Structure formats: C-alpha cells, structure tokens
Copies of this chain bind each other. A is one copy, B any other.
Amino acid sequence: MSLRHALLGLLAAGPASGYDLLKIFNVSLANVWPATQSQVYAELGRLADAGLVEVVAEGPRGRKEYAIADTGRAELRHWLTEVAPTRSGRSDTLLRVFFLGQVEPGQARAYLRRLAETAAGAERDLAALSDAVSAEEDDLAFYGRLALEWGLRFNAMQREWADWAERRIEEREAVARRP
C-alpha cells in the first residue's frame, strides 16, 4: 500500500488539497503510481484519521488543505530508508511474449515491432518532457528528473530488445524453412 506513502511524499513538499494531489497523480506520477479520485480522497481521510496528516485550512468551496504531520514525516522516512522495495513486475506486455508461439511467426514479429514503435514514441515524449522541464533545482524536480531518465533508459532498452527479439524469430523461421 504505497499510495499512502505517495501522498505523504507529495505533502512533504508542502500543503495541498486532494484535488491538487490528483493532478500530480495524473501527470508527474502517472507512469509510476497511478491513482484515481476515489483512492486519493479515501486515503487522505484515512491518513487524517490516523493523524499522519492534518487539515490546515478549509477554503470557501469546501476545499480542504492537508499538511503532513510529524508522525507522517517519520513514517515517510521509515518507508524510504527501511522498507524493502517489492519487485512486483506484473507485465501483460511480457506475458504475451511467452505465448507468441500460439500465433503465426509473422504476427509474433508484428507484435514486437509494435512494441518497439510504442517504446520509441514514449522515448520521444519523455525526451521532449525532459527538455521542457524547467531547470529549477528543488528536490522534487531534481529527483523527478532522475526518474525521468529511468523512463528514457527503460524505453530505449525495450525498443532494442524488441528489435533483437524480432531478429531472433526471423532466424528461427529461416532455420525452420530449411529441410
């Protein structure tokens, strides 16, 4: 349940409302930890009940501004330094690869080619984002850029792998055609 820690992490940078946080989830964190409205508002309520965050202001339109409490900051630090990351790795993209033997080799290659193209597109998008992001040197921006670089390298890796895998299938087809 890292949604809790994602909220604490964002609030550590300054007070915000559920709506504010939601926008961050849909933009900066969309590729790292997506979250929906219902999740964010519900979890903020639970965090407030648990005393990890506090409502510091109520705006005119019902807006509630939350700030991280000391206990919340302690919990965040604990998670950052002492809780072992889970290597979940659930990927339907990769799952499909296992079963590509069920379709024609041509279709398998087409799947990998689409994968390579998708990765190339994502790479271009991230590169554009990387240029667009201002060079402010606050912590969130600095570490956000490290994560962005991860995305660039991940997509490059995926693109190269898909190309390589496609060639492997071609070779295998060529061998199979021989008597």
Q: Chain A: residues with CB nearer than 8 A to chain B?
A: 2, 5-6, 9, 12, 28-29, 31-34, 73, 76-77, 79-81, 85-103, 107-108, 110-111, 115, 118, 122, 138-140, 142-144, 146-147, 149-150, 153-154, 157-158, 160-161, 164-165, 168, 172
* Residue in contact with A143 in the complex, picked from B80, B101, B122, B161, CB distance below 8 Å: B101
**For A79, what are the chain B residues with a Cβ–Cβ distance below 8 Å?**
96
Q: Can you tell how many copies of this chain the complex includes? A: 2
Expressed in whole angstroms, the Cα–Cα distance for A161 and B150 within the complex equals 7
Interface centre among A73, A98, A150, A168 (most CB of B within 10 A): A98
Q: Which residue of B lies closest to A73 (CB)?
A: B102
